[in-house]
Structure 1
Amino acid sequence: MEKNAWAITGELAAFFDEATAHVPAEQRRILQVLKIGEEFGEAAQAVIGATGTNPRKGLSHSWRDVEAEVCDVLVTAMVALHRLGVEDPAAMFGAHLEKTAARALAARRA
């Protein structure tokens, strides 16, 4: 049976925790959240490259590159929920998504 995204990101989180066991837990959590920002920066750089808005670099990326970088942002954020110690990241995210969607969709109906 195929693993779901939350199981895979849980494995990644465990791997990263083992690989950085020499770093205090508090710092590992902080660094993981900062990693989301790093990945977002790469996504932004890809958008600039896909639109050719940096005259020095021109068209340096494709929209496929942008998609891959956005996926990296999502994976990194999912790993962060695990590494922050959330007991059930999938349930927590699902509840948050429903709440956020309800607010946004209610505004559409207003």
Structure 2
Amino acid sequence: MSDHGTPSPDLWKSVDALWAWLETDQPVGGREGLLLRVLKLGEEVGEVSEAVIGAIGQNPRKGFSHSWEDVQGELCDVVITALVALRTLTPDTREVFHRHLTRVTERSLGPEAA
């Protein structure tokens, strides 16, 4: 359960399901498909940038075109896209991610933090 009383989807099951869905209807496969899946991250990061610019009203032509909730959603899209790309590279997504997170946490906060 989440803090809001609604069931939380299992992160890794969701990543696997999204990966499987993309794999079944992939117009470009193989090495090029893998590269395109990784490049999708750049598109998603660009959408975060666009949302931040819109949330602060930096574009005089568009004004305040986004909210900070939009920025949150776009950041979530980046995370999801990155995890699906990682799943494309390895079926051991969970283990690879947790191992890397442990290394980053230990390096940043010390071994006792992990």
| TM-score category (smaller protein) | 0.7 to 0.9
Offset at residue 2 of structure 1 (A): 6.1
Cα distance in 1 for partners of 2:55, 2:28 equals: 37
Identity %: 44
Equivalent pairs counted in the alignment come to 104
TM-score normalised by length of structure 2: 0.85
Matched, 1:30 2:32: no
User: Which gives a bigger RCO, structure 1 or 2 (Cα 8 Å, sep 6+)?
Assistant: 1
Which of the numbers 67, 83, 94 marks the counterpart of 2:98?
A: 94
The alignment partner of 1:71 has SS state of helix
TM-score normalised by length of structure 1: 0.88
Gaps of at least 5 residues in structure 1 are none
Offset at residue 88 of structure 1 (A): 1.2
Aligned-pair Cα RMSD in Å? 1.5
Q: Following superposition, which runs of at least 4 residues in structure 1 exceed 6 angstroms of deviation?
A: none
Partner of 2:15: 9
Matched, 1:43 2:48: yes
